[in-house]
Amino acid sequence: MAPRPTASRSHVAGQVVRSGRVTKGKSEKAPANKVPSDQIKVVSTDQVLEQVHGEPPAWAENRQQLCDAIPWFHCTQGAMYHSEGFCWGFLIDADGGTRTYIDEEIIITRIGGCCTKDSEGNLALQKNQEADSTLARSIIASLKSKLPVGLIIGSKHKILNRDLPHRYNVMAWFRVTNVWFERIGTNHGAKVRFEKLDLAEKSWWAAKGSAPPMPLELRDFDTKPQTLKCEGCSKVSIRVYEDGWMCLQPECDRFWKIGNVSSPPELTFNPAFLSFRSRPDDEILPNCSLVPDHLSTLDEDATDISTSRGAWKGIVCPECHKCIRRTLWRGWKCSDDSTGTQTGGNVCSFERLMTMNPISRQVLLDDSEQPSMRREMVFDRKFMIPEIDDVSLSPYRKLTYKLDGVGFITHFVANAEINSRPNGPDDLFIGLQREDLGLKRFPLSSSLVAGTLTAHFAVNHGSPYKYVVSVLSKAFGEAPEVILRALGRLSWATEQAVISAGDMYMPPNELLTLGYFEGMKIGYHDDGESSLGPTIATLSLGAKSTMWIRMKYKHFNGHTRRVDAGDGKAVSGSVLQEDPVLKGCRLEDERRALKERFEAGEISQDEYDNSRQTLFATQKGKQAPPAIKLELHHGDLVVMHGENLQRYYEHSVVPENKLRFALTARYVKPDHVDAAEIEKGNFTLTPDQIYDGK
Ligand SMILES: O=C(O)CCC(=O)C(=O)O
Ligand SMILES: [Fe+2]
């Protein structure tokens, strides 16, 4: 038997393989003494990294950059990007599992999925991975359809032991040559062998100073590793390990056995399995380029192109090759989408700002949205039906949605007469596009995947306010005319709504402008910070959108969400300390009855809590369906009023077309603002900036 390299004694291209996960065949080329010392970087006492020969064609500091710019890797989690039943892209990073392998042309790894972390932080298969699982099916489909797969290597990759230049590095196109199953722990999981498609070109991740690849004409494409038919299941399996041939069909009772004996835990790859190469095949063609040249496909002269879906994808910086997202309203700036950690102190100066021809309101109108004097209104009975008032604020139609004990939402429905007035919504819409407002996309403060940017642009004027993200605030004193005019309208709407409810009017001192391109939206959130007054007014400009309002999960269900304890088991959520038992919540009658008994002193706190736990155990918690649906059109105003509205309910807005602005004004309590920033919220409107409701 060939010597079996193990953790303690194997040397792979000049460095000790520390993980003990890889066992390489004897076909290894570069022996340790061939690596010049200037090409070795000592990272820590036990890690010596070789320099790589070249540079990746594209790279990223985080997954979001990668997913935004690389069309074959739209995936923020997991190793494999699959869609439409195929695997398109694959990331090899921290943990490829046991028996992984990498060299300049071949990669062997597990396909991901079905995993959990063991006590040492390594990924362990939690259950069997079957051939009909989504991941296995996708990778097998790519193999059978000869679909090339793009590979990316992350700097946490433990086996290559080269000094990878960036956190995520695009490698090359590969073909899938084999997919098979192995026993991994007590379960079985799928493995894959990738082979680089272009064998003529030297891989950038090859060691610096290493020999060029063997020319194609000198290569042997005929010798293949041994394949044998299993006497048990009659299916053919390839010989992956030198230690012996094994049946690799998990359903066979001879699976993962050499002869009659279970395979040893340490195995050596069959050199023939590592060294065979597939003949170049013209049929294997990627269906897009490895690194997209997105900028050259944008025709800026076409109207509205700068706000189309295609225009807010990420690009690969033509200068430094970093994947950059469109963080700026006007375009891409390499240094703006940077954590600064991967640039080695060099800031790339690339930027591409678009012309941004203003789009007129008419371009966004669809057939069902002809300008009319008063829009016809059809209400869907699935949602709350409002009170309709066509008189008191004419020419606006006033729709009021009342949530008992919670608050109300007033929708001021505009029409063509209102919109076309000088300095009205039509003019404001064009005005906002002409101004350089400094709209930007910011990282979401609470997101499952760190670094995720909002799917809308934002800029704040007036008192500082942190909504779902932190946005720098500009003083009203520096605000352009359009912002002050919008503030005039929003102050009017706030006053009308609040006074008609008999509440005190607090003039807004903050205005957040959101800009939405095609396909952008704002997900469910509330505007209920302790620093804010109870009233929030929004002016919609441009594309039509739908606003959804639903009860928050915990108020709908009466308990917080169940959380994953990390071992695959769910920890049940805790019951609410104070359950408002809102109208329409789940198990409303039962919850109200328990609450009444508790408040009447008939049951103790413990009994109340335990009875609710028992009640909730009968049904799985779920998200509340939307209670209110508002169709927001150009020029419409919406006022949400009531602290409890933000406490118990959340809202989201989904626009439908290429360009929409939402200008939302709030009252930020001065005791929550730094003294130095108070004056940012001061403003005086000129008489013609004050709105009179016409
Ligand atoms: O886009 C909209 O209409 C709503 C914006 C919003 O919810 C917010 O700014 O908090
Ligand atoms: Fe909001």
227 found inside a domain: no
Protein residue with least CA distance to atom 2, ligand 1: 662
Whether 410 and 530 share a structural domain: yes
376 found inside a domain: no
17 found inside a domain: yes
Annotated binding site for 2-oxoglutarate: 525, 651
Q: What is the CATH number of the domain that holds 507?
A: 2.60.120.590
377 found inside a domain: no
Q: Identify the pLDDT of residue 372.
A: 52
Whether 49 and 143 share a structural domain: yes
Ligand 1 pocket test target in 538, 645, 652 with most atoms within 8 Å of CB: 538
408 found inside a domain: yes
Ligand 1 pocket test target in 454, 516, 651 with most atoms within 8 Å of CB: 651
Whether 537 and 654 share a structural domain: yes
Protein residue with least CA distance to atom 1, ligand 1: 662
Whether 391 and 348 share a structural domain: no
Whether 569 and 479 share a structural domain: no
pLDDT in tens, 345-393: 668 999 999 888 888 877 766 545 544 545 567 888 999 999 999 999 9
pLDDT in tens, 186-210: 889 999 999 999 999 999 999 999 9
Cis peptide, bond prior to residue 31, ω within 30 of zero: no
- CA 1 to ligand 1 center in whole angstroms: 68
Whether 45 and 159 share a structural domain: yes
Annotated binding site: 525, 651
- CA 527 to ligand 2 center in whole angstroms: 5
Q: In 3-state terms, what secondary structure has residue 590? A: helix
Instruction: Please state, in angstroms and rounded to a whole number, the distance separating the CA atoms of residues 357 and 291.
Output: 28
65 neighbors 334 (Cβ within 8 angstroms)? no
* Residues in the 5 Å CB sphere of ion ligand 2: 527
- CA 538 to ligand 1 center in whole angstroms: 7
Ligand 1 pocket test target in 473, 522, 650 with most atoms within 8 Å of CB: 522
Closest ligand relative to 522 C-alpha: 1
Q: What is the CATH number of the domain that holds 178?
A: 2.30.280.10
ipTM surpasses 0.90: yes
End-of-domain residue from the set 617, 640, 655: 617
- CA 69 to ligand 2 center in whole angstroms: 28
Whether 532 and 613 share a structural domain: no
Ligand 1 atom nearest to CA at 664: 9
Instruction: Please state, in angstroms and rounded to a whole number, the distance separating the CA atoms of residues 17 and 673.
Output: 56
- What is the enclosing helix (H) or strand (E) of 440? none
End-of-domain residue from the set 580, 596, 617: 617
- CA 550 to ligand 1 center in whole angstroms: 15
Whether 461 and 404 share a structural domain: yes
Number of domains the chain contains: 4
Whether 588 and 495 share a structural domain: no
Binding pocket residue ranges, ligand 1, CB within 6 Å = 467, 512, 514, 522, 527, 538, 540, 651, 653, 662, 664
Q: Identify the pLDDT of residue 509.
A: 94
- CA 667 to ligand 1 center in whole angstroms: 15
464 neighbors 673 (Cβ within 8 angstroms)? yes
- CA 521 to ligand 2 center in whole angstroms: 11
End-of-domain residue from the set 617, 642, 661: 617
Q: Identify the pLDDT of residue 671.
A: 87
Protein residue with least CA distance to atom 10, ligand 1: 527
Closest ligand relative to 650 C-alpha: 2
Q: Find the helix packing angle between 481-500 and 425-434, rounded to 10°.
A: 140
59 found inside a domain: yes
Q: Domain limits at 68?
A: 11-219+270-275
Q: Identify the pLDDT of residue 260.
A: 87
Whether 665 and 530 share a structural domain: yes
Instruction: Please state, in angstroms and rounded to a whole number, the distance separating the CA atoms of residues 71 and 68.
Output: 7
Residues of the chain with pLDDT under 70: 1-47, 96, 113-124, 300-305, 340-346, 364-376, 447-448, 466-471, 563-572
Protein residue with least CA distance to atom 9, ligand 1: 664
Whether 34 and 70 share a structural domain: yes
- CA 443 to ligand 2 center in whole angstroms: 16
680 found inside a domain: yes
Ligand 1 atom nearest to CA at 538: 3
- What is the enclosing helix (H) or strand (E) of 408? strand 407-413
Q: In 3-state terms, what secondary structure has residue 611? A: helix
- What is the enclosing helix (H) or strand (E) of 16? strand 15-16
618 neighbors 372 (Cβ within 8 angstroms)? no
Ligand 1 pocket test target in 441, 514, 520, 632 with most atoms within 8 Å of CB: 514
Protein residue with least CA distance to atom 3, ligand 1: 662
511: which 2 tokens? 């205005």
Whether 472 and 546 share a structural domain: yes
**DSSP string across 477-533:** GG--HHHHHHHHHHHHHHHHHHHHTTPPP----EEEEEEEETT--EEEE----TTEE
Q: Identify the pLDDT of residue 340.
A: 61
343 found inside a domain: yes
